[in-house]
Amino acid sequence: MSSSYLILTTIIIFLLIFLYISWIFVSNEMENKKETGERRDFLYTASYALGAVGLGAAVWPLVDQMNPDSSVKALSTTEVDISNIDLGKSITVLWRGKPVFIRRRTQEEIIESQNTKLSELKDPQKDQDRVKKPEWLVMLGVCTHLGCVPLGGKGDYKGWFCPCHGSHYDTSGRIRKG
């Protein structure tokens, strides 16, 4: 049994005991009309406060179970040494079982990608919107059409080529043809 369920059970038991004792005090107070309403107001306020704590304790495990476990968190990041990547070359690393392409672009590739007319693109997006640093392109290496892995250094635009349906990508990872 996990500790959160043990804590929840303990809080619920204390809550039930407190509510039962409060009910006894309130019913005794109703019989004894001489006492002021201050005691009753205190008991109501305390009951509501403890009820709110109990409700929070009951809801917490339900919300907590939606958080990813440690194995999923461990897969959420991947560290890559990019110091050995030469200009104009790419490497492929795995992240969550999917290929990630990391390309160190040359100055010519950067200029060509930045000067591409948006009207020539099927999905217009500026090069500046796709990269944080112009020299480095990092993208998920899965084709959006059928989920194939495009081949690097192939195609008409010096980027990638998808063998599944013939799409051509440029050095900014934008689809240009196919």
Q: Which residues are catalytic?
A: 165
Q: Fill in the amino acid letter for 6.
A: L
DSSP element (H, E) containing 136: strand 136-140
Angular region, 153: left φ>0, alpha ψ -120 to 50, beta rest:
left
How far apart CA 8 and CA 19 sit, in angstroms, is 16
Residues with Cβ within 8 Å of 47's Cβ and at least 6 positions away in sequence, in order, are 18, 19, 22
CA 120 to chain CA centroid, Å, is 33
**Residue reference for tokens 């039930």:** 16
| Element at 29 (helix H, strand E) | helix 3-31
